[in-house]
Amino acid sequence: MEFFIDTADVNEIAELVETGLVDGVTTNPSLMAKTGQSYQDTLAAICDLVDGPVSAEVTALEPEAMLQEGRHLSKIAENIVVKVPLTWNGLRACKMLRDEAIQVNVTLCFSASQALLAAKAGATYISPFVGRLDDLGQNGMELIRVISEIYGQYKHSLQTKILVASVRSPLHVVEAARLGAQVVTVPAKVLKQMAQHPLTDKGLEAFLKDWAKTGQSIL
- Please pick, among 83, 95, 189, 209, the residue that the annotation labels catalytic: 83
Contact 186, 173 (CB under 8 A): yes
Phi, psi of 129 (to 5 degrees): -95, 90
Phi, psi of 155 (to 5 degrees): -65, -20
83 Cβ partners below 8 Å, 6+ apart? 26, 27, 28, 55, 56, 57, 58, 104, 105, 106, 107, 127
Residue 188 burial class via C-beta count within 10 angstroms: exposed 0-12, middle 13-18, buried 19 and up = middle
* Active-site residue, 213 included: no
Q: Which helix (H) or strand (E) holds 191?
A: helix 188-193
- DSSP one-letter code for 79: T
CA distance 7 to 43: 11
Report, as residue numbers or ranges, the catalytic residues.
Answer: 83
